[in-house]
Amino acid sequence: MKQMRSDAIRKGLERSPHRSLMKAMGYTDEEIRRPLVGVCHAHSEIVPGHSHLDKILEAVKTGVRMAGGTPIAFGTIGVCDGLAMNHTGMKYSLASREIIADSVEIMAMAHPFDALVLIPNCDKVTPGMLMAMLRVNIPAIMVSGGPMLTGKFRGQDVHLVSVFEGVGRVKANTMSMEEMAELEDKACPGCGSCAGMFTANSMNCLTEAIGLGLPGNGTIPAVSAARIRLAKSAGMAVMQLLAEDIRPRDIATRKAFENAMAIDMALGCSTNTVLHVPAIAKEAGVELPLALFNEVSERVPHLCSLIPGGPHSLQQLDEAGGVPAVMRELLNSNSAINLEVMTVTGRTLRENLEKVKVRDADIIRPVEEPYHKFGGIAVLYGNLAPDGCVVKQSAVSEEMLSHSGPARVFNSEAEAQSAILEGRIKAGDVIVIRYCGPKGGPGMPEMLSPTSAIIGMGLGKSVALITDGRFSGGTQGACIGHVSPEAADGGPIALVEEGDRINIDIRHKKIELAVAEDVLMKRQAAWRPPAPKITSGYAARYARLVTSGSTGAVLRDDACNR
């Protein structure tokens, strides 16, 4: 029998103390002799996307046992971005990704499991676990908890973002408080990652596209029995990966990441993927420059109009064939998908797609009839963002793809939110929210509240928003984030003054501050970095170590001892 990682704690006389500790937890000699499979989950009672992961965990453990392994569960943290939104808690959301990755690495190295199954669902948990999977690089598979169903409110599909937008509608006197209370009750009908192609569902779909999750990982609803069956299948599949010694880095190659970027464009995923995908790739030793997103976008059409930018739900996407069907349709375009990559099924992508068909061409459009000829995400460059900034162009109205207006400058999200809800923002304005980047935020807080308020106040087709922070996957409209370099590092966004004209040209990937260079140089000379917003604890350490949003907001290499 080949040597296993777990032999370090279970074989030979010298390991008697280790076996004794295992027996203290009730493990039998037979269980200890079998391959030991770590099952990392993020179950908690504070995250709707995670509240049911205990059931997914039990299904995975069943699958591992069915295939001859011994499952050993352990947990990690997870932040609910919706609950963390619009207060200090959001400064800790992106930063949690690194803690999740580190905690999984610690558990997998301290306890030498032979293989891993990872069970995330929400925004930073999926990328954090993927980073750890590639860092540790033992046979592993991911199975998410699945998307929440949409709610129903007076005959309309609704979801969490509907409630955020409802705040603006109440302020604009287009919705009553009684209607708001009813919407609040109906929008989130049960467990799962928030309904729509928001960040969590985007990353769970991209996990599937990279090849590190089984078909269905991104789209099977959380409450479906098929999700339990998928979890059992994942438990069995990891045992096959162990038998064949197929490891995450064998799967997550440059071509596999390009497949994920193609699916990103075809689905119209969250702009947060532009942070997470390069960070995950870095752990695999694969470099994905920001400009590559534009290159992929140029050749991959936008095929699916999903919530929040369109009418269709994740459940409908699943019924239409899910991510495999989107990949199958992209085979009809010019070199959009690499077929010879390996996947956690133990087969190549070509083999996986042989019998796949699009079951609803209204949900997954033919490549000849896309919603847009270009992909869902664009990276813009210019003197306001020399290192780039990101927009979900598939969720921008036609009239806002090109926009020029006066800057309305705010140094915090709260200041901007107040201005929007108090009616101080007018049609044509360009809202600038700065000092919200990875370092300045700290933690690059998401801004679903102001972007939803813009929509709710009826300004979605006349106002742009620019920030060195980031947006929820639930954001729609001309919302441009990840401006790099960030204000806290003295980037040009720190030099913008009230009334400066900003020119946005999404079609041509340009963003310009219409201020003379000599004026900007004088402003730069007078600029001084602000005092840190948090001076102690993890967020303060994170701010000192984090890099730019243009590089995935990873921690500096010289800060890592791995």
Q: Which residues are catalytic?
A: 472
CA separation (Å) from 128 to 221, 230, 267, 390?
A: 22, 21, 22, 21
- Class of residue 562 by CB neighbours under 10 A (exposed 0-12, middle 13-18, buried 19+): exposed
* Distance, CA of 65 to CA of 239 (rounded, Å): 9
For residue 184, the one-letter residue type is: E
How many residues make up the chain in this entry?
562
Of 286, 203, 278, 294, the residue nearest 552 (C-alpha): 278
3-state secondary structure labels for all residues of 183-207: HHHHCCCCCCECCCCCHHHHHHHHH
Structure token digits, residue 454:
């813009």
Beta-sheet strands, E only, within 338-424: 378-382, 385-391, 402-410
Integer-rounded Cα radius of gyration of the chain: 23
Of 120, 255, 220, 546, the residue nearest 130 (C-alpha): 120
3-state secondary structure labels for all residues of 526-559: HCCCCCCCCCCHHHHHHHHHECCHHHCCCECHHH
CA dihedral over 509, 513, 519, 524, signed as positive or negative: negative
